[in-house]
Chain A
Amino acid sequence: MIRPDVTIPFDHQQSAHCETGVISNLMRFHGLPVSEPMAFGIGSGLFYSHMPFLKMNGIPVTSYRILPGWIFGRFTKKLGIAIKRMKFRDPKAAMDELDRVLAQGLPVGMLTSVFYLPYLPKAFRFHFNGHNIVVFGKEGDEYLVSDPVMDGTTRIHRTALIRARFAKGMPNIKGSMYYPTSVPTDADIRKAAIRGLRRTARDMSNTPLPMFGTKGIGYLAGKLRKYEQKLGARGARLALGNLIRMQEEIGTGGAGFRFIFAAFLMETANLLDRPDLRAHALTMNRIGDLWRDFAYEAGRLCKGRAEAHITFAYLADKLEAIGKEETTFFKELHAVSKTL
Chain B
Amino acid sequence: MKKDEVPQDDANMLEGKFKVVKYALNEKGEFEKVPSVGWEPENVALSQAWDVINEKVEAARQQVLKGGASPLLFHMEKNMMDIALLAKYMGLPTGKVKRHLEPDGFAQLDTILLTQYAEVLLITVEELKRVPA
Co-assembled chains A and B: yes
With A16-B23, A244-B44 already in contact, the answer to whether A151 and B1 are too (CB < 8 A) is no
CB pair B20 A302 closer than 8 Å: no
Number of interface residues of B (CB under 8 A): 34
**Chain A residues with Cβ under 8 A from B50's Cβ?**
123
Shortest CB-to-CB span from A306 to chain B, Å, is 11
Most buried by B among A120, A123, A245, A266: A123
CB pair B88 A122 closer than 8 Å: no
- Interface residue? A62 (CB, 8 A): no
With A16-B22, A254-B23, A296-B40 already in contact, the answer to whether A263 and B45 are too (CB < 8 A) is no
Having A238-B48, A299-B42, one finds 20 other A-B pairs with CB under 8 Å, namely A115-B80, A121-B14, A121-B17, A123-B13, A123-B46, A123-B47, A124-B14, A168-B85, A238-B52, A242-B45, A245-B46, A254-B1, A259-B23, A259-B24, A266-B30, A266-B31, A285-B1, A289-B1, A292-B1, A299-B41
**Chain A residues with Cβ under 8 A from B45's Cβ?**
241-242, 244-245, 248-249, 299, 302
Complex interface residues of chain B between 10 and 33 (CB less than 8 A to chain A): 13-15, 17-25, 30-31, 33
A153 to B65, CA, bound (A): 43
Shortest CB-to-CB span from B24 to chain A, Å, is 7
CB pair B1 A255 closer than 8 Å: yes
A107 to B46, CA, bound (A): 33
**Chain B residues with Cβ under 8 A from A248's Cβ?**
39, 41-42, 45
Shortest CB-to-CB span from A72 to chain B, Å, is 20
- Interface residue? B59 (CB, 8 A): no
- Interface residue? B81 (CB, 8 A): yes
Shortest CB-to-CB span from B63 to chain A, Å, is 20
**Chain B residues with Cβ under 8 A from A300's Cβ?**
41
**Chain B residues with Cβ under 8 A from A152's Cβ?**
18
**Chain B residues with Cβ under 8 A from A15's Cβ?**
21, 33
Which chain A residue has the least Cβ–Cβ distance from B87? A168
**Chain B residues with Cβ under 8 A from A263's Cβ?**
23, 31
A-B pair number, CB within 8 angstroms:
116
CB pair B21 A16 closer than 8 Å: yes
Binary contact track B53-97/A, C-beta < 8 Å → 1, others 0: 000000000000000000000000000110001001100000000
A124 to B44, CA, bound (A): 13
9 A–B contacts from the bound complex (CB under 8 Å) = A120-B17, A123-B46, A126-B80, A151-B21, A241-B48, A244-B45, A254-B22, A292-B1, A303-B44
**Chain B residues with Cβ under 8 A from A150's Cβ?**
17-18
**Chain A residues with Cβ under 8 A from B33's Cβ?**
14-16, 36
**Chain A residues with Cβ under 8 A from B21's Cβ?**
14-16, 151, 253
Residue in B23, B41, B88 whose CB lies within 8 Å of A168: B88
CB pair A121 B15 closer than 8 Å: yes
Chain B residues touching A, majority SS: mixed
- Interface residue? A232 (CB, 8 A): no
Residue in B35, B44, B85 whose CB lies within 8 Å of A151: B35
Chain A residues touching B, majority SS: helix
A263 to B24, CA, bound (A): 8
CB pair B23 A37 closer than 8 Å: yes
**Chain B residues with Cβ under 8 A from A295's Cβ?**
41-42
**Chain A residues with Cβ under 8 A from B81's Cβ?**
127
A152 to B35, CA, bound (A): 13
Most buried by A among B23, B48, B49, B50: B23
Binary contact track B88-126/A, C-beta < 8 Å → 1, others 0: 110000000000000000000000000000000000000
CB pair B30 A151 closer than 8 Å: no
Shortest CB-to-CB span from B95 to chain A, Å, is 18
Which chain B residue has the least Cβ–Cβ distance from A249? B42
CB pair A249 B46 closer than 8 Å: yes
CB pair B44 A299 closer than 8 Å: yes
A285 to B29, CA, bound (A): 11
A211 to B49, CA, bound (A): 25
A244 to B46, CA, bound (A): 9
Most buried by A among B14, B49, B81: B49
**Chain B residues with Cβ under 8 A from A201's Cβ?**
none
With A152-B18, A168-B88, A248-B39 already in contact, the answer to whether A260 and B80 are too (CB < 8 A) is no
